[in-house]
Each structure stands twice: as structure tokens, then as C-alpha cells.
Chains A and B, each alone.
Chain A
Amino acid sequence: MTLRFDIPEENLASILAKAFGNRSFLAGFIITALVAAVAIVSFFWTPYDVTRLIIADKTQSPSPAHWFGTDHFGRDILSMIMVGARNSIAVALVAVGIGMGVGVPLGAFAAARGGLVDEALMRLNDLVFAFPALLSAIMITAIFGPGAVNAIIAIGIFNIPVFARVARAGALAIWPREFILAARAAGKSRTLITLEHVLPNIVTLLLVQGTIQFALGILAEAGLSYVGLGTQPPMPSWGRMLFDAQTRMVVAPWMALFPGMAIVVTVLGLNLLGDGIADILDPKSRRQR
């Protein structure tokens, strides 16, 4: 769990060279870029219109006309997966944004101040961690109503302590360094030091955690939509597609197969990307011990 890091002293070109020499990063980058591209393309073009129901074409098995088959309303599964990608990415991305936006300042603040402030913030973290994320997301959406926005908020809240913890741990490792001492001797305030010296040095840590939380966010959104509390129909979402598939497993197993594979591929890509970034920037694994 303890992420170690070092300040990258190389220039951008050498980092990039190393990045694309890393198998995990390369695979993760390609998959993630592909998923993102599919999501972007879905804004302009999908093989079929996902809002049109053609009952005559319902539950058709995969064919050249419908690569991934059709669902119980005759909608093209491939087109729905494309639009669903857009939705999954948006929810997970905003949830990561919430987590970072609130969590990182909290964690950095706790590390800069130490003492009681630190202790209090960490206890608050314990509190949020005591609520299993999915359970609380269910509670939040149950109370405030289902929907993509509430799903984002629910997932985002549980990203906050994760980023607070990572930012604090990272910042605590930076504070005893000599260049911080120099900055303090120069009379800079704790806030300024945090902004100018601490945060730039923990960016990579946050990036790694960001990809992990992004992947978890996609899983969480799918879970919430699957139980009917996330994205609402008619907006296609991967989780909702799996819900629709469940009662039709015998007649149309492809309805369950392809949306699930879309989730697996996306999450796998993000995790590989995160692992790759950690590998490249972690001096311990760089030494190949």
C-alpha cells in the first residue's frame, strides 16, 4: 500500500521513452485511448440509433449486421456499448475530480499542520472508510433518488478519503527533505511551500491513485446502474444493460457477455496504465530488485 516515489529528474523525452518501453504502460495506454476514442466517436456516429426501438429486430444473435447482437427492444448492442462508454467515463472522471479536488487539499493540509488537525482529519477519514463505499452509494441514491448525478456524488465522496490519505502520506515524506528546510529558512509560509514544493512532488502518486480510482469508479457506476440506482434508461449504461440481460440469459446470452467485456477491458486498461505509471516512476522497481 505504501507508494514510494522519487522526484523524476529526467526530462520529458526520456520519461516518454521509458513509458513506451514499459509493457504495462503501453498496453494500458493503448486500451484506455481506444475506449476514450470509442466514447468520443459515439458523440458523432454509432452503427445504429440507440434511441430507436425496433421490436422486429429484438434479441438477434451477433451477425455481420449487428456485431454484438441486439437487445430485447431491437437496439444494437455495439452502439449501446459505445454510448455507454461515454457515460461510464463521465461518471468516473467527475467522481475522481471530486475526490482529488477535496481530498488532496485536505491531505496536504493535514501533513503541513500535523498535530491535532492531522489527527482529526485522519479520524474523519476512518469514519468514511467505515462505510462500505457501495453500501453508502446505495444509501445516498436511495434517499436522494437514483440517477447519474447522485451516483457521481456518492462515488466522489468515497474518493475523498482515499486521495486525502495518499496526499498526506506523500506530503509527509516530502516535508523532512532538505529543499523544504531551505524553503522554510527562506521564510516561505506552509501554504506556499505546499503549493510550490510539496504538491509538484506528489503529482505522480496522485496520478497513479487517480487511475486506480477511475477504474474503481467505472466498476461502482456499473454496479449502481445494475441495481437500478445509477444511470437511468433510456440513457444506455453498461450496468443497466447487464440488468436487462439477466432475465434473458437463456435466450440472449450475448446481451450479458458484451457489456461485461466492455467493463473488464476498460478497467483492465486503466489498471495497467496505473501500474505502468507506478513502475516508471517508482525508483524501487526501476532498480529491478
Chain B
Amino acid sequence: MPDQLLFAIEVTLNGLMAGVLYALVALGFVLIYKASGIFNYAQGVMALFAALTLVGIMEGQVPFSHLINAIFGTEIHHFGWHVPALAAIILTIAVMVVFAWLVQVLIFRHLVNQEPILLFMATIGLAYFLEGFGDLMWGSDIKKLDVGLPQGINGWIDQTTFDAFGYGFFIDNLDISATIVAIILVAGLIIFSQYTKQGRALRAVADDHQAALSVGISLNFIWVLVWSVAGFVALVAGIMWGAKSGVQFSLSLIALKALPVLMLGGFTSIPGAIVGGLIIGVGEKLFEFLIGPMVGGATENWFAYVLALLFLVFRPQGLFGEKIIERV
């Protein structure tokens, strides 16, 4: 096989892996948008906050230590223990559930029946608040996140492909784990929404609030549930991105990468988020590889947005979104 083709295959594989990570972030958006019509700008910050909390708990950091030290003149930073990764993840999930409940009780319960733009503004406010709150609680330094996922080049793939083609593919173990985790997560979400009572109630609420009430569904409960699930998805995305590039402020910007994914896949479709993520991931890597050298590179920064723009023009509902039909 010619080298050029082998490179292209390697680039495609890496693109698929990157796409999985985009899809993970986009999923959180889709969940909340489907159930409540809210475009949750804070999804990226939720991923950051979840990752910060996870690291904080694992390292035994004292929450609000800077604040406490400034007020009382103390010098405490750590409890002096380390929590195992699994226990810390479970604790972080609990924190995200409490967060979901607070968001519902303090913000969205008071905004029922308001314009979508108002709800969107509320999530912008939430994003900035949460960003500052996360800093205050856990500090703003860049943190290393290691939950025990394998990292670095996968030797087996490298060796096998080298033996077969005379060229070893570079695939990161972390990307492989991310893909496996994403597959499990998506399968779980689909089973949850299609086969359980709560999932059916969730789809009902997404469709018609009044009708949902009349068959005995509590809207508040469903919304807390949805925000909790979105918080869980944010945690998974936060773990994967955090393990890759450290837990830091820029993690919240992955939300911007999710936007073109949503425009491609449609805001209301879970499979759409996955496929959209993969297309963007592969597309931007291949484009950079094939066209990049001709235009001076750095196409990864804009490729996704241009693709999304094209979709907005020719297929505004996305690949899998619900077609907007107006019956007259």
C-alpha cells in the first residue's frame, strides 16, 4: 500500500477518535434541549466543573480553601488523604445531581413558559456563575487528571500494522478508552430513553408539557432527572478531555466545538450527535491532511464552522433533526 493512503487511514482513525470526544459534549446539549427546549450554554462549563470536582475529591483538596484562608488567616489546602478514582467518580455524580436539583429549583422553575431566548440567557448566566464558582471552590491552577485510564501509543496496533504494511499506526490508548466509554454511555442512554418508564416520561415531556401532566408525569422531577443525566455526561466528557489535556479553564471551550456538531446532527437527535461528532472529527483531520498544506495549514480551527454553515443553508434541521413541518 502506498504511504499516502496509509497516512490517510491513520488520520481517519484518529479523526474518528477525536469525533467521539466531540460527540460526548454534544450529547449533553441534545439531552437537555430535547426534554426542555433549553439550549444549555453552560454544558461546557459543567464538564469543567465536574472534572474540577473529580480532581478535587481525588486529591483530598479542601473546597473554598483560598476563601477560608483569606478570611481566617489559616493555611489549609488539603485534607491529607486520597480518594480512589471510582469512589471519587460516584461522589462527583452525587455533586452533579445536587447541582441539577439546584438549577431546577433556583432558576428554571421560575422561568416556566418563558421565551426560549430568556431560558438561553439564563444558561449563559449559569455558565459564568459556575465558571467563577468552580474557580473559587477548587482554585484556578491547571490540574492533572488521572483516573487510571491507559495513556500513550497502543503498542499492539503499532506492531500489528507495522508487520502488515511496514508502517505502524499511532493510536492513543486514551482515545480507544474514550471510544469504548462513549459506546457504553450511548447504549445506556438509548436503553434508558426507549425502554424505561422514566425514559418514556422524558420523551413525553419533551413533546408536550400539558399532555405529560395529564398522564401523571411530574415536570419538575423529569427536569431534575435530565439535568442530572446531562451532568453525568458532562462528567464523562470532562474526564476524557481532562485526561487528555489537563483540567483547566479551556476545557469549557469544548462547548464551542460541540456547536457545529449539533448543527450537523440536529439538536434533537442522540444518534445525530454521534454521527455529527464523527463527521466533524474525521472531516477536520482529513481536510487538514489533504487540503491543509495547500492553504498553509491550521484549517482545524475553522473547518467545522464552515461545514456547519453549509448545513445551515442547505439542511437547517441537521442530518437527523426533526423536520419542521407546518400544517396549514
Chain B binds chain A: no
